[in-house]
Structure 1
Amino acid sequence: MKSHIQHVKFLLNKGRLFRFLFGIVLTMIFALAGYGLNEVPGFHYVGPLACAMFLAILYRQLWGYPEAVRSGIEFSAKKILRGAIVLYGLKLNMDDVIHHGLGLLLRDVGTVVFAILFTVWLAKRFKADASLSLLLGIGTGVCGAAAIAAVSPILKSDDEDTAIGVGLIALVGTVFAILFTVLRPWLPLTDIQYGIWSGISLHEIAHVALAAAPAGQDALAMALLAKLGRVFLLIPLSFILMYWMKRTGKMRTGTKVESPWFLIGFIAASILGSYVFGKYIVVSPKLMNELSQLTTFMLTMAMVGMGLNVSFKTLREKAMLPLLVLSITSIILVGLTFVTV
């Protein structure tokens, strides 16, 4: 009898493990499908992350949430997400920001402060969802989807808000990046000025690269340097948000702020990429590129896990006003940064 019970427990545990692993594999399949959709003309402007999340949201509406494999999906949405944020730190070259981009960093501070405060203020005026609007303000000011993903655990945002925020940032940022490339020939800016403007105003690193590349290598270099300054500001912003959450009592009674190991990992990866790789440890550009691709893929898997939590009904009820707030904030930010370049 005892051996029979042990056998049953083994089968149950084996079943749980299988469902857990299949949930992770499912997010991988959606991520790969997102990369495939990204190759379709028109969708490449949006990027694989948003494409994969769109497919996940569509699946949820047609067939519902795959409850049987929830544990694996949640692992992708939470644990793999944090791992991706750590690896994302390798994209940030602190040395370049500190030694070559201090002037740009001051402009970046202005972008971050304005985007967050104005978005929150405008959301109150429009009675838009406060939690989602805050995420959008942070995504607009800092570095798009990566910033939203990094701060959502700190702010205790639910997966649905995080997924909607990422989708809206991808949509609006893509539209603005395309408009930048269309308007560039008629703008009274030098290539360097245009690069700076792109770097301090557009949402994602991919959006900045898309907009600045047509202006040449010098413009692209300045744009990415300006953008890296905003990524750098994710570090102090995250600690400010943790302090704010504690100070304002936003945490539920009896709960604690989650240990920000992923943020510490992000800082460590940034230091590693800035001061160790290439100086004390030889790392080939090919390996760094592969790590960058792995980071994007992991982030895409995480967004699939979050996208499976989103319903079209919620999008209609919750996302329209924040989308309006995001669009207005982005327009004013682009205008203000243009006149200050």
Structure 2
Amino acid sequence: MKWWRRIATVDMAFIAVVTLLASLVASWLKQFPGFSLFGALIIALLIGMAVQFPIRGAYVGGNAERKAGVKDAAGLISNKLLRLGIILLGFKLNLEVLFTQGVKCLPIAAVVVTLVIVVCYAIARRLGVDPMLAILTAGGTGICGAAAVMGLAGSIQVPDDRQDEKNDDVTMAVAIVAIMGTVFALIEIALGPFTGMTTTQLGITAGASLHEIAHAVAAGDAFGAVDIATIMKLSRVLMLVFAAVAIAYWWGRRHVDDADRAAGKRASVFPWFMLGFIGASVIGTFVPALAAITPTLVDFAYIVLGMAMAALGINVNFRAIASKGRMALLASFLTSVLLMCFAAGVALLLF
């Protein structure tokens, strides 16, 4: 059945309302101390994971048809809204600022993202992590946390019978980069004053090494360098476009088997929604009439992405995550240590 025919169901309406409420609550909670370090997307995921139990007990019960409907609705929301949210997130990128004030940050971002993805993936695979979880964890660690995981997930095609496994890997990767980002944000904030680095160097280190935008902003604010930390971080966010295209091509060539090719499935699928991300960035930067509503569009992007994250949480398989996540967490930790040291070295050398 085509996806648009699956929208007009009671289960879809129910899950849409639940995920919207979860996203709105997450957006409200992120303004409070402690919650702000996690960000709205992570909070929405946690809410989704929590509400799956009352949904099963009070709404689904023993009704197999309703269980299938809930699973399908949550899967559709997480799949389609994550692409829409990533496109709208493009309005957050001011290309004029990046290509003027951030001109020195862009090549650093390209090197950081490339090295981190390659190194983290290699470490994860050496530790026995499966390829999907390894590449999603590597992308989230190297680019921009949860948004990068979701963006890369939208670029990677898997057979229908592996979609649940992919969703679990997405959830696990998001959780890993959230934990690592928070831990290393606290480490950098604590150690920063004792390093002897200048304010600018501390801001560059935070923007080049921390995972979520919220983490980089929090650390940059603590150092009095929020502007340069944000520019450095957004330079890494821009790399999501190139990483998504490259990884989509690589995944298709490396992980689509001969049987799938014989059945007519494409070896690689271009992530067209990334063109929307770039288009939104261009429009938000060079169309003055939209300047006043750009913050509203970005807020809406986070609401949409929050719904997708909550939907992922509703369908998450806790047993699969518990059994698969430990080595991926270790890979992200080891890579994050290397990343922090590399970012500090670059900041000392170039700033």
TM-score (norm 2): 0.84
Which of 163, 169, 177 is equivalent to 1:169?
177
> Using the alignment, how far apart are the partners of 1:203 and 1:161 within structure 2?
18
Following TM superposition, by how much is the alpha carbon of 1:270 offset from its aligned partner in structure 2, in angstroms? 0.9
Alpha-carbon spacing, 1:291–1:183, altered in 2? closer, same or farther (3 Å):
same
Which of 243, 248, 265 is equivalent to 1:242?
248
Q: Is the 8 A contact 1:87 1:266 kept in 2?
A: yes
The equivalent of 2:238 in structure 1 is 232
Task: Please list the CA deviations of residues 95-118 of structure 1 after superposition, one character each: whole Å capped at 9, or x if unmatched.
Answer: 222233232212112211111111
Following TM superposition, by how much is the alpha carbon of 1:29 offset from its aligned partner in structure 2, in angstroms? 2.3
Tell which deviates more after alignment, 252-261 or 232-241: 252-261
Residues 1:43 and 2:43 are matched in the alignment: no
Residues 1:192 and 2:200 are matched in the alignment: yes
Following TM superposition, by how much is the alpha carbon of 1:282 offset from its aligned partner in structure 2, in angstroms? 5.2
RMSD: 2.3
> Using the alignment, how far apart are the partners of 2:100 and 2:150 within structure 1?
28
Q: Please list, as runs of the form range in 1=range in 2, the aligned pairs for 1:81-96 lying within 5 A after superposition.
A: 81-96=82-97
- What are the ranges of 5 or more consecutive residues in structure 2 without an aligned counterpart? 61-66, 159-165
Q: Please list, as runs of the form range in 1=range in 2, the aligned pairs for 1:1-341 lying within 5 A after superposition.
A: 17-35=9-27, 38=30, 42-60=34-52, 64=56, 66-156=67-157, 158-216=166-224, 219-248=225-254, 250=256, 252-253=260-261, 254-256=264-266, 257-258=268-269, 260-276=271-287, 278=288, 281=289, 283-284=291-292, 287-341=293-347
> Using the alignment, how far apart are the partners of 1:149 and 1:317 within structure 2?
21
- What are the ranges of 5 or more consecutive residues in structure 1 without an aligned counterpart? 1-12
Following TM superposition, by how much is the alpha carbon of 1:45 offset from its aligned partner in structure 2, in angstroms? 2.3
Which consecutive segments of 4 or more residues in structure 1 shift more than 6 A? none
Q: Is the 8 A contact 1:94 1:232 kept in 2?
A: no
> Using the alignment, how far apart are the partners of 1:129 and 1:192 within structure 2?
39
> Using the alignment, how far apart are the partners of 2:190 and 2:7 within structure 1?
54
Aligned to 1:100, the other structure's residue is in SS state coil
> Using the alignment, how far apart are the partners of 2:139 and 2:217 within structure 1?
20
> Using the alignment, how far apart are the partners of 1:89 and 1:309 within structure 2?
27
Q: Is the 8 A contact 1:23 1:71 kept in 2?
A: no
TM-score (norm 1): 0.87
Following TM superposition, by how much is the alpha carbon of 1:165 offset from its aligned partner in structure 2, in angstroms? 1.0
Structure number with greater Rg is 1
